[in-house]
Structures are given as C-alpha cells and as structure tokens.
Structure 1
Amino acid sequence: MNLPPFDPARFEEEWAQDQDVLQSLAANGDNPAIARPVDVSFQGSGKALASLEEAAEELGFTVLGDERSEDGTLSLFLEREQRTDEASIRALTELCLRIEAYFGLEYDGWGCVAETGMKH
C-alpha cells in the first residue's frame, strides 16, 4: 500500500499533543524502551473505517474494535506493539497521518499504559 505524504502543519498539531502524552507517561515512571500495546483511533464514515479495518494488518496493526459515540461519530480502534520513545512515537504519528490522508479519516491520537518495568 502506497500511503501519501502527511500534512506537515497537521503533524505539528499532533506532535504538540504527543508531547503532552509523553510527559504524562514520564511523570508516571514510564520506561519508553519497553515495548507494549499502543492503541490509536480514527474517526470517519463507516465505509472508510471498514476499508482501514481490512488494511489494518498490512499496515502493522491489529483491530481492537469500533464504536459509535452518543453524537453518532464512528471510531475504529487499532493497536500495535511498540516502544514510546520520541522516535517511535514520531514514526507512529507520521504513519497515522498518512493513513488519515489515504483513507479520508480523522486520526484521533494514541494511548497506552505506562510501563515502569516493575511487577505490580
């Protein structure tokens, strides 16, 4: 699949939000070198989300599921195993923005649980 380039202005917007998430993880003792499930979500039409769901594995993701919010917005949740260092998150955001452009969706960010390396 040949994904288009992402919009640099859109990247800067998302990257600012990524910094907030990374700071929150760090404040919770996260070790960014530990790979863990990281989920991402996209919003859009049912048809576009279904196309992404079909392509998810080829793009390196597993499908977690979809959801319709109270206002009728459809979302698709995907996940992949990765680290949370800045380079890994930057690559994830760039990929998701390219997916957004290709499928005509709205990327709605990423999330994960802080991993300290300590057993709970």
Structure 2
Amino acid sequence: MTLPEVSPARLEEEWAADKDVLASLRENGDRAEIVRPVDVSFRGDDEALDKLEEEAAELGFEVIEREEDEDGEVCLFLSREQTTDDAAIKGLTKLCLQIELAYEVEYDGWGCTAEDGTE
C-alpha cells in the first residue's frame, strides 16, 4: 500500500507535542533504546475504523481494542513494538499521519510506559 505524503507543517506540529511526551518519559527514567509496546489511537466513523482495523497488520500494528468515549466518539487503539528514540517516534508519527489521510480518520496520539531496564 502506498500511503499519502504528509504536510511538513502538520508533521512539525505533531512533533512539537511528541517532544513534550518524550521529555516526560526521560524525566521518568525511560531508556529510549528499550523496545516496548507503543500504543496509538484513531477516531473516526465505524466504516473508516473497520477498514483500518482490517488492515492494521499490513501497516505493522496489532489491534488492541475499540472504545467509545464519554462524548460517544469511537476510538481504535493499535499497538506496535518499538523504541522511543526520537527517530523512531518521529517515524511513528509520520506513519500515523499518513494513516489519518489514507483512512479518513483522526490520529489521536501515542503513548507507552517508561522503561528503565529494571522489571
């Protein structure tokens, strides 16, 4: 599947928010090189989310769940194993913005737990 190009301005807007999340992770002792599940979420109508859910594996994601929020909006949560270094997160964000355009859904961000190498 060929995904659409993302506007550099939109990518930079998301990257600015990502840097805040990454800073918070680092403050909590995160070691960026540790591979762990990173979750992403998308909002949209049932038809668009159905299509994304069906094709998630082709895009490198595993489906976690679909959930309705207090406003009645439906979110699809996906996950993939990766590091949290800057390049990996910027790549993830670019991919999610491409998915947003290709599937006509709204990318709602990413999240993960801080990993310090101790279990």
Structure 2 length-normalised TM: 0.98
Partners of 1:32 and 1:93 lie apart in 2 by 16
Please report the RMSD computed on the Cα atoms of aligned residues, expressed in angstroms.
0.6
Partners of 1:98 and 1:115 lie apart in 2 by 28
Partners of 1:44 and 1:8 lie apart in 2 by 23
Deviation at 1:14, TM superposition (A): 0.8
Question: Structure 1 segments of 4 or more deviating over 4 A?
Answer: none
- 2:71 aligns to what? 71
Structure 1 length-normalised TM: 0.97
2:95 aligned partner, one-letter code: L
Say if 2:67 is the partner of 1:95.
no
Partners of 2:80 and 2:91 lie apart in 1 by 13
- 1:41 aligns to what? 41
Secondary structure (helix, strand or coil) at the match of 2:107 reads strand
Secondary structure (helix, strand or coil) at the match of 1:33 reads coil
- 1:11 aligns to what? 11
Deviation at 1:101, TM superposition (A): 0.4
Partners of 1:110 and 1:70 lie apart in 2 by 20
Partners of 2:68 and 2:16 lie apart in 1 by 27
Structure 1, unaligned runs of 5 or more? none
Count of residue pairs the alignment pairs up: 119
Map Cα deviations across residues 45-98 of structure 1 (whole Å, 9 max, x no partner).
110011000010000000001011111111000000000000000100000000
1:71 aligned partner, one-letter code: D
Partners of 2:45 and 2:7 lie apart in 1 by 21
